[in-house]
Amino acid sequence: MLNVIDRWRCCWAEATGKPQRFAKPLKRMRFLLSPWRNFCVIGCLAFTVPALAQQAATPAKPKSGIEFAGADIRAMQADDFANPGMLWVARGEKLWNVPAGRSNKSCASCHQDASSSMKTVAARYPRIDAATGKVINIETRINGCRERNQAADPLQYESEELLALTAYVAHQSRGMPVAVVADATNRPHLERGREIYYRRQGQMNLACVNCHVQNAGRRLLAETISEGHGNAYPAYRLEWQAIGSLQRRLRACYYGVRAVMPAFGSDELLDLELYLARRATGLAVETPGVRR
């Protein structure tokens, strides 16, 4: 019975990004012993019992989050004039050509036309940086170029400039299938990311898999729980009224289960981001996506 409650709490956290007032740690779930327990149990069973039979495995054919969205969100993402994320793409294009740092070089000084030089990049990242042996995403690569080639200060995570440049670079791969390769160099990080994905954590004692595999496709109020892929990020979320990185969304999930949120750019988030990209193999890059 506690497992049923777990799954209900998981779905609430996913849909709202906030802990539910009754979502206490298991040891404090005394309300189950109250006269209202039958009401609570019936309500939870009506929503979650079918999910108990599902296996915690990655679907053979992943579905993008846009497939779980309403018609209004799908239409907004498909129309470049209506998609608010395109404002950040346009700003990123301007920044691409603006000289920065003591070297007075722009991104275009080295990479020329982004539509050709940056094509496929978002489909292949995150990846292992040959120089450091660490996992890097597009944001890390941009800041590395700024420091090494432009002699400029790195941009802060979630800053308007970094979001714009990341969205612009990723946009060049829109429509291309995600194709992060698993090999000897990144396998330890993939395994670490997978371990994080399946690990229960936080006061709510939940894992990513509890929402995005075991309850994917199920309705919660007006929303449908997605499979949690990152192929649309950076994405414009209506709840943010802004574009945001995948790591911002991941940190919101940590908050939703009352877990300690890793810092932006931490090894934990990078390993998890790598695993999510591998899990999304074959899905089209959608940047900038639109989500509710």
Q: Give me the active site residues, please.
A: 253
User: Which residues have a Cβ under 8 Å from the Cβ of 138 and sit 6 or more positions away?
Assistant: 121, 122, 125, 166, 169, 170
User: Which residues have a Cβ under 8 Å from the Cβ of 79 and sit 6 or more positions away?
Assistant: none
Distance CA 186, CA 133 (A): 9
Tokens for 24, please give them.
């206490």
Distance CA 234, CA 249 (A): 10
Distance CA 80, CA 92 (A): 15
CB hemisphere CA count around 267 (13 angstroms):
8
Cis, peptide link before residue 84, omega less than 30° from 0: no
Return the DSSP state at 257.
Answer: T
Among 167, 84, 71, 182, which Cα is nearest to 124's?
A: 182
Count how many residues are written for the chain. 292
